Structure formats: structure tokens, C-alpha cells
Amino acid sequence: MSTPEPCPGGTWTSPVMMGIVPVKRDNAQAGADGFVRVDRDYVAQAAELARAGGCKHFVLQSSRGANAQSRFLYLRVKGEVENLVQAVGFDRCTILRPAVLLCKRQESRPTEWIAQQFLGVVARVFPTAYSVPVETVARAMVACVLQPGEEKVKVLENGAIHELGKAVPQQGT
């Protein structure tokens, strides 16, 4: 690990204070083994490397319903990675559990597109119930890093993600 460098004004900073791991994969291309490798194994390894590098606060995007005991692969893997990241021993760990992510994709996923269109309409009536725009999740991740916290592990469900996402200004505002 490198020696910390002084900031202007003479204060010292740690090389790695917080970690956020973005994950991109395509379930259809990767299959179940690829999904487990990317969403659990790679994220757990990134957390271990971040901690070894001096990371104090790790932010993990998981999923609503994550549960290591679930019969559903997706929710089980998300619950398993939550447990693995917590076991690394960060000073702080924030876990975001968003509902369905609303986003524009480059690849074609007709079923997901239909679901997002429906949930987009539902979101106008129940904005925090079933979905969240990916931009809101990203702003919430930044906000949780910027806000001081006492809890060793903090889990944010979809409604809290919406609220925290409002704490960081959107581009152009």
C-alpha cells in the first residue's frame, strides 16, 4: 500500500476511504454460473481488496428481497454477497436494496422493457413502491458516503433510497 499523501493545507488522507463496486453482466449471456461469479464472487473479492487497501466504508448495491436462504438464485446470491461483504470487517458498510431498476439499456430485452413501461406508469402513482431509477440509486450511493454515520452496517430499502437520492443534486440543478 502506498504512503498517504498530504492534501493542500497539510492534512493527510488515506489512499482508499470508501469503495463502490459497479457490476454489469447480462444474465442471458452469462448463465447461472456467470451470474454467481460476477454478482457474488467478484464483488466479495473487490471488497476484500478494498479493505486490504485501507477502505473504511463500503457501499454495496444489492436487491429488494435479498436473502441468503432464498430458494430463488437471484435473491440467494444477493443475500450471500451481503453476508460476505459484511464479514470483511469495514468500519462502515452500507447496503442498498433497490426494487426494480428503471434504466435504458442498449441490448434488447422485450419482457424487461414491457415491465419497465408498466412500472414507469405505476411509479407516477406510487413513486417509491416498486421501482427506482438507476440515477436515484447512484445519487443515494454518493449521499450515503458523504453523510456521517454511526452504524457499522446500514441497510437502505427502496423508500430510503428514493429519499437519500434526493439529497444529492441532479446534474443541471
Q: What residues act catalytically?
A: 74, 78
Task: Tell me how far apart the alpha carbons of residues 66 and 89 are, in angstroms, rounded to a whole number.
Answer: 20
* Residue 98 and residue 156 in contact, taking contact as beta carbons nearer than 8 Å: no
Helix, strand, coil abundance in the chain, percent, nearest 5: 45, 15, 40
